[in-house]
Amino acid sequence: MPTPATNKAATLDRTVAYLKGIGPAKAKLLGEELQIHTLGDLLHAYPFRYVDRTKFHRIIDIIPNEGAVQVKGKLTSLNVKGNGRAMRLVGRLRDDSGAALELVWFRGINVLSNMFIVGEEYICYGPVTEFNGKLSITHPEMEAAKRAPSAENATFEPVYSSTEKLNRRGLDARGRRKLIRALFDELKATDVPEIIPDHLMTELRLMPRIPALKAIHLPANQAELEAARRRMKFEELFLLQMRLLQLKVVRENQVAGYTFGSIGETFNRFYTEKLPFELTGAQKRVVKEIRHDLGRGVQMNRLLQGDVGSGKTMVGLLSMLMALDNGFQACMMAPTEILAYQHFEGITEYLEGMDLRVEFLSGSVKGKARKAILEDLAEGKIDILLGTHALIEPTVVFKNLGLAIIDEQHRFGVKQRAKLWVKNKPYPPHVLVMTATPIPRTLAMTAYGDLDVSVIDELPPGRTPIQTVHFTEHRRQRVFGRIREEIAKGRQAYIVYPLIEENEKLDLLALEEAYDEMRHKFPPPEYQISVVHGKMKPENKDAEMARFKNGETQLMMATTVIEVGVNVPNATIMVIVHTERFGLSQLHQLRGRVGRGAEESYCILLSSVKLSKESRERIKTMVETTDGFKIAEADLRLRGPGMIDGTQQSGVLQMRIADLAKDGRILSVARDRAKDILEADPKLDNPQYAPLKAHLAKYMAAVKGWGRIS
Ligand code: ADP
Ligand code: MG
């Protein structure tokens, strides 16, 4: 028996072995199987589902593929069938309705066949499918009916994630519930102090902490459970936001930076004389935000989000001019040679007559030319350096780098980005990271919650929206006809094929076959076709891209290598083949390659006839909207937060109870309130925040290392 802790708050740090009904062996198993080591872990391992023990489906009424059902019936047989990989345990469950269904297990056959008893009554839960006219549930959740609490005792039961090992040792649903009851018997009010400040409790009408935790595990009814869940979701998101905002303050205090105090002649001259268009409202706002950042004496670490074509490059250029005006050099790094060179060409053109030296550096700049650039860079003779990964090589030394811009940041690894930091002394350069992958607001607030985020949420005027349509494959002749029409008008076309890594060879083969077909449909000399794919040598790829860009070829057949940033305004039609094999954000990026000029543009999504529900949903989203943020929200809904581009490396998305796809409103409130509190009382010195402060201090240590994008 551990000695009773003198510090009461430490109760939750005790091992679960401390509880009645669980010895060291079972405690160890809980730790191994579910990472539940302490009482606190147990308290915060919430049920993932609740069942109403009074409601059962009658097997005779079950419609397959309509979600999970709960049935209660007698196990009438249990047999191992098949062998090798097809070996499975099959049980039959018959209920009062007289109908039966099959229960099927492919794993744990030995254990399970000894655990279940033919003739006993069981409560089974799981989604029902139909195979050969038979209803079945694969790997159902099972509980002996006699061990389940009776309807009078508890109608609303928590279900926890468990494993077969735990079930066998008595830590099944029932065992866990017993443990939870024992835990609540032990807990004193001081063990679980209220950490949400009083004024928020009142304002948001939140359930107090202990009752809420209790109701999460052992709810009396649906209403109580809902109130408890709302409270715990708020708590989770509020604490997360408090931590992120505190980290932000810490970061800002630690990393000093150059102060770009003045907007000078270069910027002003460019702005008044050279700027070829009026900035959109969103661009102006973002430039202002960046200008403010650069003037504070703190290193800027800002993420700029803006949909494809929203004009991020110009914002980047204006920021670089601010650095130049303060006596510094600036650089911008892009993930591909094509893209980097495009920046170089574009920016050189914008800056014509400005007497600034702009250079380009990539792996293909070699020999004397490279040497000259490196020397001049070190001597400060070059103002702006544009290029690829080559920029972060150790041989590239700046005289005084004041601002580093990273375009399409999700293409770079964290380590690569970090190398830019050490390019300057004593202070690191200011860093602006640009991405065309819109991140849903809720994700941005968490994944990048401690960073500064700017958003360009407005496209330059005069764009004709892209018309998107969906066709099934057997209507491709019509699609070819549309392509011909566009080419006849002097326009160009993209045809995009999927390339999935584990299937690369097959995909390439498919691309070759498709090329033969296209050659046939679009014969020379009238039509010229470019082909670009990821397996080509970079120089060949670039040469083909260049041919298309110059208008020497009218058709560009490509795999997703064209996804990022390529600008060919004369291309007005894109056909995506096997659309169902692309993810939403990828489709959005691809589509952004057309609609870059003033002409009306088209995107045709070809797919097979048979589509999964999710593919159908993705295609529907693409047809309905061109708004990158809406598409990102749909992506989040369809795939969950862990899968969204650009956020995988973030450790903050594993939540216990909140769901970023659904709890955006709670999240906004949590963030706003956290901000208010920290603005009024940055150190949480007011005694009313003491429990909150203590709680945060405990967890701050665990989250070190979060939060730098570069
Ligand atoms: P992205 O955000 O995808 O990097 P770009 O910076 O490449 O977008 O801009 C796309 C196109 O829009 C470019 O041709 C650019 O010149 C043009 N553009 C940018 N800002 C404006 C504006 N305010 N008005 C008109 N055209 C603009
Ligand atoms: Mg761009």
Please tell me the predicted confidence (pLDDT) of residue 646: 44
Q: Ligand 2 centroid to 68 CA: how many Å?
A: 46
Per DSSP bridges, beta strands 358-361 and 384-387 are: parallel
Lowest mean pLDDT among 208-212, 217-221, 235-239, 364-368: 217-221
Please tell me the predicted confidence (pLDDT) of residue 4: 43
pLDDT of 653-683, one tens digit each?
A: 567 888 877 888 898 899 999 999 999 998 9
Residue 598 CA from chain centroid, whole number:
33
pLDDT of 437-453, one tens digit each?
A: 777 777 777 766 666 78
Give the C-alpha separation, 638 to 584, whole Å. 9
What kind of fold does domain 59-154 have according to CATH?
OB fold (Dihydrolipoamide Acetyltransferase, E2P) (2.40.50)
Lowest mean pLDDT among 66-70, 98-102, 154-158, 482-486: 154-158
What are the pocket residues of ligand 1 if the criterion is a CB atom closer than 6 Å to any ligand atom?
277, 279-280, 283, 306, 308-314, 436, 460, 567
Residue 607: name the closest of 583, 584, 576, 578 by CA. 578
Percent of the chain with pLDDT over 70: 89
Nearest CA to ligand 1 atom 26: 460
Residue 168 has pLDDT above 70, yes or no: yes
Mean pLDDT of the 103-114 span: 90
Give the C-alpha separation, 129 to 64, whole Å. 5
Segments in 332-491 forming alpha helices (H): 337-350, 367-378, 414-421, 441-447, 476-488
Percent of the chain with pLDDT over 90: 48
If one counts every other C-beta atom within 10 angstroms of the C-beta of residue 492, the result is 22
pLDDT of 20-61, one tens digit each?
A: 888 899 999 999 988 899 999 999 999 888 877 677 889 998
Please tell me the predicted confidence (pLDDT) of residue 404: 94
Please tell me the predicted confidence (pLDDT) of residue 637: 80
The closest-lying atom of ligand 1 relative to the alpha carbon of residue 310 is: 2
Nearest CA to ligand 1 atom 19: 311
If one counts every other C-beta atom within 10 angstroms of the C-beta of residue 369, the result is 13
Q: For ligand 1, pick from 310, 409, 567, 589 the residue to mutate: most ligand atoms within 8 Å of CB.
A: 310
Residue 596: name the closest of 460, 439, 458 by CA. 460
pLDDT of 173-192, one tens digit each?
A: 778 888 999 999 988 888 89
Lowest mean pLDDT among 22-36, 337-351, 402-416, 538-552: 402-416
Q: Ligand 2 centroid to 342 CA: how many Å?
A: 9
Please tell me the predicted confidence (pLDDT) of residue 377: 97
Q: Which CATH superfamily, name and number, covers 265-294+311-435?
A: P-loop containing nucleotide triphosphate hydrolases (3.40.50.300)
DSSP state for residue 666 in the 8-state scheme: H
Q: For ligand 1, pick from 279, 304, 314 the residue to mutate: most ligand atoms within 8 Å of CB.
A: 314
Rounded to the nearest 10 degrees, the angle between the axes of helix 281-294 and helix 312-325 is: 30
Q: What is the mean pLDDT of the chain?
A: 86
Tell me the pTM: 0.65
Phi-psi region of 497 (alpha: psi -120 to 50; beta: other; left: phi over 0): beta
Residue 702 has pLDDT above 60, yes or no: no
Mean pLDDT of the 573-583 span: 92
Lowest mean pLDDT among 165-174, 365-374, 477-486: 165-174
CATH C-level class of 467-625:
alpha beta
Nearest CA to ligand 1 atom 25: 460
Give the ligand with the smallest distance to the CA of 318: 1
Residue 12 has pLDDT above 70, yes or no: yes
Q: Ligand 1 centroid to 294 CA: how many Å?
A: 23
Query: Which amino acid appears at position 533 of this protein?
Result: H
pLDDT of 374-428, one tens digit each?
A: 999 999 999 999 999 899 999 999 999 999 999 976 656 556 666 776 777 788 8
Residue 708 has pLDDT above 60, yes or no: no
Most confident residue range from 9-13, 18-22, 697-701: 18-22
Q: Provide the b/e sequence for 390-414 (b: ≥16 CB within 10 Å).
A: bbbeeebebeebbbbbbbbbbbbee
Give the C-alpha separation, 710 to 392, whole Å. 12
Nearest CA to ligand 1 atom 20: 311
Query: Which amino acid appears at position 402 of this protein?
Result: G
Q: Ligand 2 centroid to 371 CA: how many Å?
A: 28
Q: Ligand 2 centroid to 427 CA: how many Å?
A: 27
> Please, which residues have CB within 8 angstroms of residue 147's CB and are 6 or more apart in sequence?
174
The closest-lying atom of ligand 1 relative to the alpha carbon of residue 279 is: 23
DSSP state for residue 270 in the 8-state scheme: I
Are 576 and 605 contacting, i.e. CB atoms less than 8 angstroms apart? yes
Give the C-alpha separation, 377 to 397, whole Å. 7
Instruction: Report the sign of the C-alpha dihedral through residues 306, 310, 316, 318, in that order.
Output: negative
- Residue 513's pLDDT band, with cuts at 50, 70 and 90, is confident
Q: Ligand 1 centroid to 618 CA: how many Å?
A: 27
Mean pLDDT of the 181-210 span: 93
The closest-lying atom of ligand 1 relative to the alpha carbon of residue 312 is: 2
Residue 706 has pLDDT above 60, yes or no: no
Are 434 and 626 contacting, i.e. CB atoms less than 8 angstroms apart? no
Segments in 204-254 forming alpha helices (H): 209-217, 222-254
Residue 513: name the closest of 502, 524, 497 by CA. 497
Q: Ligand 2 centroid to 301 CA: how many Å?
A: 19
Q: Ligand 1 centroid to 310 CA: how many Å?
A: 6
Residue 524: strand, helix, or coil:
coil
- Residue 577's pLDDT band, with cuts at 50, 70 and 90, is very high
- Measured CA to CA in angstroms, residue 346 lies from 273, 350, 687, 706 at distances of 17, 6, 57, 36
Rounded to the nearest 10 degrees, the angle between the axes of helix 173-186 and helix 209-217 is: 160
**Gyration radius (Cα) of the chain, Å:** 31
Tokens 């397996």 label which residue? 535
Cα dihedral 477, 482, 488, 494, rounded to 10, equals: -90
Residue 72 CA from chain centroid, whole number:
40
Q: What tokens appear for 539 in the block?
A: 């120089």
More confident residue, 478 or 510: 478
Q: Looking at the chain, how many residues does it have?
A: 710
Instruction: Report the sign of the C-alpha dihedral through residues 148, 151, 152, 154, in that order.
Output: positive
Give the C-alpha separation, 571 to 548, whole Å. 9
Query: Which amino acid appears at position 112 of this protein?
Result: L
Mean pLDDT of the 287-303 span: 90
Q: Omega before 149 cis (within 30°)?
A: no
Are 409 and 418 contacting, i.e. CB atoms less than 8 angstroms apart? no
Nearest CA to ligand 1 atom 5: 311
- Residue 142's pLDDT band, with cuts at 50, 70 and 90, is confident
Please tell me the predicted confidence (pLDDT) of residue 648: 41
More confident residue, 351 or 437: 351
Residue 499: name the closest of 487, 509, 513 by CA. 509
Nearest CA to ligand 1 atom 16: 311
Q: Ligand 1 centroid to 279 CA: how many Å?
A: 9
Residue 650 has pLDDT above 60, yes or no: no
Nearest CA to ligand 1 atom 24: 460
If one counts every other C-beta atom within 10 angstroms of the C-beta of residue 485, the result is 12
Q: Ligand 1 centroid to 52 CA: how many Å?
A: 56
Residue 621 has pLDDT above 60, yes or no: yes
Are 329 and 382 contacting, i.e. CB atoms less than 8 angstroms apart? yes
Residue 710 has pLDDT above 60, yes or no: no
Please tell me the predicted confidence (pLDDT) of residue 237: 92
Three-state secondary structure of 153-168: CCCEEEECCCCHHHHH
Q: For ligand 1, pick from 275, 277, 437 the residue to mutate: most ligand atoms within 8 Å of CB.
A: 277
Give the C-alpha separation, 71 to 520, whole Å. 60
Segments in 351-413 forming alpha helices (H): 367-378
Phi, psi dihedrals of residue 113, rounded to the nearest 5°: -65, -25
Most confident residue range from 2-11, 292-301, 643-652: 292-301
Q: Ligand 2 centroid to 463 CA: how many Å?
A: 16
Lowest mean pLDDT among 124-133, 283-292, 345-354: 124-133
Give the ligand with the smallest distance to the CA of 588: 1
Please tell me the predicted confidence (pLDDT) of residue 81: 92
Please tell me the predicted confidence (pLDDT) of residue 450: 65
Nearest CA to ligand 1 atom 18: 311
Please tell me the predicted confidence (pLDDT) of residue 162: 80
Tokens 């065309």 label which residue? 436
The closest-lying atom of ligand 1 relative to the alpha carbon of residue 315 is: 6
Q: What tokens appear for 613 in the block?
A: 């529900």
Mean pLDDT of the 96-124 span: 92
